[in-house]
């Protein structure tokens, strides 16, 4: 366990703010805590509204700035190492281990890749993120200008993943275009999932190896929707082995679905190909594949 230094969360009140008190607004928009828990934080002086410590009786309206000065808390342990794949004065690419969150969130602040990287590269800004259980390449910009350039051109970056999926694939190639939107979840209200009314999405999956009861896929990511590979492989009938959330069809499991950040599956971001934002040269970045995803030789 690690005890961090606390964190100040900033939120601009939305258009429905006038319908609520502070405690009820926060409970409605941040369901990880109940209205009574937010009321207790108000009593402790943790909530600031427009630069004044809030009492909870204030009238709210859209555009007000609310701060939650969260006191220090205990974080669960995470891996504390990463390896550098590429570094120059403009960009940094690292190999993130499974189990380490990329950025603060979900109860993690100090025990994140961003915090570890900034110990050596204080100016580092993540251009994208991987799920906590996903391993592989994370790209950082080392200046605001480079961050802006990489973000603007991120759709042109070629992204290749490798995953261990349940079941034996019948075909060698799958071009998956199921739209991704939100779906009901009993614990969170909504999560991303396969949804015909969602946003256009595309993944191209190729079989690398068929095992006794599973398949190793290589996946080209053509769009970047949340949990896209997990959803798309589940959509074609091959959810990731050990995925606590997604079931066949790319929707949450019927009974006791897990949370998006829960681990147990094997997904690895193994290759990025991009134009260097300063030199214009093609840069290929590769993260070694974990043993569980390497070819075993037990082909069927």
| 28 plus 63 within the same structural domain | yes
- Inside any domain, residue 219: yes
Distance CA 216, CA 66 (A): 46
**Residue 163: Cβ within 10 Å count:** 26
Q: Are 228 and 203 in contact (CB under 8 A)?
A: yes
**280 pLDDT higher than 80:** yes
Distance CA 197, CA 295 (A): 37
Q: Are 114 and 94 in contact (CB under 8 A)?
A: no
| 37 plus 98 within the same structural domain | no
- Inside any domain, residue 268: yes
**297 pLDDT higher than 80:** no
| 184 plus 238 within the same structural domain | yes
Task: State which residues form the domain around 20.
Answer: 2-74
| 125 plus 215 within the same structural domain | yes
The predicted structure's pLDDT at residue 288: 97
- Inside any domain, residue 147: yes
The domain boundary, picked from 74, 92, 118, lies at 74
What angle, rounded to 10 degrees, do the helices at 35-43 and 22-29 form?
130
298 — pLDDT class (breaks 50, 70, 90) = low
77 — pLDDT class (breaks 50, 70, 90) = confident
- Among 262, 225, 268, smallest CA distance to 246 is for 262
Q: What's the pTM?
A: 0.85
> How confident is the model over 122-150, as pLDDT tens digits?
999 999 999 999 999 999 999 999 999 99
CATH number at residue 39: 3.10.290.10
- Inside any domain, residue 163: yes
Distance CA 89, CA 222 (A): 28
Domain count, the chain: 2
| 106 plus 250 within the same structural domain | yes
| 93 plus 64 within the same structural domain | no
> How confident is the model over 78-95, as pLDDT tens digits?
999 999 999 999 999 999
| 63 plus 115 within the same structural domain | no
Secondary structure string (H, E, C) spanning the chain: CEECCCEEEEEECCCCHHHCCHHHHHHHHCCCCCHHHHHHHHHCCCEEECCEECCCCCCCCCCCEEEEEECCCEECCCCCCCEEEEECCCEEEEEECCCCCCCCECCECCCCHHHHHHHHCCCCEECCCCCCCCEEEEEEECCHHHHHHHHHCHHHCEEEEEEEEECCCCCCEEEECCCEEEEEECCCEEEEEECCCCECCCEEEEEEEECCCEEEEEEEECCCCCCHHHHHHHHCCCCECCCCCEECCCEECCCCCCCCCCCCCCEEEEEEEEECCCCCCEEEEECCCCHHHCCCCCCC
| 29 plus 55 within the same structural domain | yes
| 192 plus 48 within the same structural domain | no
The whole-angstrom distance between residue 170's C-alpha and the CA centroid of its chain comes to 30
| 203 plus 69 within the same structural domain | no
CATH number at residue 182: 3.30.2350.10
Distance CA 147, CA 139 (A): 10
> How confident is the model over 167-218, as pLDDT tens digits?
999 999 999 999 999 998 887 788 999 999 999 999 999 999 999 999 999 9
The whole-angstrom distance between residue 164's C-alpha and the CA centroid of its chain comes to 19
| 192 plus 264 within the same structural domain | yes
Instruction: Look at the block and give the residue holding tokens 């009861």.
Output: 213
What are the distances in angstroms from CA 261 to CA 146, 231, 241, 281?
29, 14, 15, 35
- Inside any domain, residue 299: no
- Inside any domain, residue 300: no
| 52 plus 173 within the same structural domain | no
């Amino acid at each position: 366990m690690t005890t961090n230094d606390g964190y100040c969360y900033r939120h601009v009140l939305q258009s429905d703010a006038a319908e609520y008190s502070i405690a009820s607004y926060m409970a409605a928009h941040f369901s990880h805590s109940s209205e009574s828990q937010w009321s207790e934080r108000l009593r402790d002086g943790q909530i600031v509204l427009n630069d004044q410590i809030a009492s909870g009786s204030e009238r709210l309206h859209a555009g007000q700035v609310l701060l939650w000065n969260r006191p220090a808390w205990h974080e669960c342990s995470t891996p504390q190492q990463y390896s550098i794949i590429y570094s120059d004065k403009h960009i940094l690419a690292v190999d993130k281990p499974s189990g380490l969150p990329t950025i603060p969130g979900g109860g993690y602040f100090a025990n994140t890749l961003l915090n570890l990287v900034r110990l050596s590269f204080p100016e580092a800004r993540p251009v994208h993120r991987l799920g906590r259980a996903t391993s592989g390449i994370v790209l950082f910009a080392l200046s605001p200008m480079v961050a802006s350039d990489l973000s603007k051109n991120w759709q042109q970056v070629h992204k290749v993943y490798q995953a261990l999926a349940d079941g034996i694939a019948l075909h060698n190639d799958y071009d998956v275009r199921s739209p991704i939107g939100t779906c009901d979840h009993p614990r969170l209200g909504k999560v991303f999932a396969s949804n015909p009314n969602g946003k256009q999405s595309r993944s191209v999956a190729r079989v690398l190896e068929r095992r006794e009861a599973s398949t190793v896929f290589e996946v080209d990511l053509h769009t970047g929707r949340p949990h896209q590979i997990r959803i798309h492989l589940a959509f074609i009938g091959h959810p990731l082995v050990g995925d606590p959330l997604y079931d066949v069809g790319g929707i949450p499991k019927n009974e006791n679905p897990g949370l998006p950040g829960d681990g147990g599956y094997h997904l690895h971001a193994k290759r990025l190909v991009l134009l260097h934002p300063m030199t214009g040269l093609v840069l290929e970045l590769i993260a070694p594949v974990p043993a569980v995803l390497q070819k075993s030789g037990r082909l069927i």
